[in-house]
Chains A and B, each alone.
Chain A
Amino acid sequence: AQKVTQAQTEISVVEKEDVTLDCVYETRDTTYYLFWYKQPPSGELVFLIRRNSFDEQNEISGRYSWNFQKSTSSFNFTITASQVVDSAVYFCALWGYRDDKIIFGKGTRLHILP
């Protein structure tokens, strides 16, 4: 069975600090996709990134970066120079070929303090 674990339930940092959100996954599949979604206070989930299991290259998009390591089954998300607008709940998600379902972790609530 597939599983996504986001061990950090809640994190608070002061604005401009860097912060890393952890995501550890379990799957039997060799073909799978990993995702991150953001849920701001307004409530609607917004897609941030998708990564397939054959592409371990790290990705950077502005202040956001993602570190995918198959050896540790992790797909961590780093926000550099955090801003108050980054305050949200962040979800990591997994799709595996055999299960063919997209399952989410329990989310990490991030507070960026001014």
Chain B
Amino acid sequence: DSGVTQTPKHLITATGQRVTLRCSPRSGDLSVYWYQQSLDQGLQFLIQYYNGEERAKGNILERFSAQQFPDLHSELNLSSLELGDSALYFCASSSPGQGNTGELFFGEGSRLTVL
């Protein structure tokens, strides 16, 4: 158990809909990362937050947005969903002293299926 909690574990929805994925980092971790894992693209970096502020951005679509709240949990919002958004979405956190050079602790992922 990495200590990172993601909900929901599974989600099935229809095209055009909007969903919210939630992540609670390990206790004491300030950084939260979001990754998308699909069969053909591997593990794609979406976005990183550090203590409530956006720190780095990857290939995140404009239809997607994220935020980190004062209690350090994070949410990833996916809107106007398309079939191609079906994927496993991972959240990870890292220790404050390690920054981005340290070990990432991953949650179990949220599997999104868009029909």
Contacts and interface: CB of A to CB of B under 8 A. Distances in A.
B43 A104 contact: yes
A44 interface: yes
Contacts of B43: 45, 91, 104, 106-107
B106 A104 contact: no
A51 to B, nearest CB: 11
Contacts, number: 57
Dominant secondary structure at the B interface: strand
Interface in B83-105: 88, 90, 92, 100-105
Given A47-B103, A106-B41, A100 B108 contact: no
A47 B101 contact: no
Q: Number of contact residues on A: which range applies?
A: 20 to 34
Given A45-B90, A106-B41, A100 B104 contact: no
Interface in A22-57: 33, 35, 37, 42-47, 50, 52
Contacts of B109: 43-44
Nearest to A103: B45
A104 B106 CA distance: 14
A105 B4 CA distance: 22
Nearest to B4: A44
A45 B106 contact: yes
A95 interface: yes
Interface of B: 2, 33, 35, 41-45, 48, 55-56, 58, 88, 90, 92, 100-109
Interface of A: 33, 35, 37, 42-47, 50, 52, 91, 95, 99-107
Closest 6 A/B residue pairs (Cβ): A106-B42, A104-B43, A45-B106, A47-B103, A33-B101, A101-B56
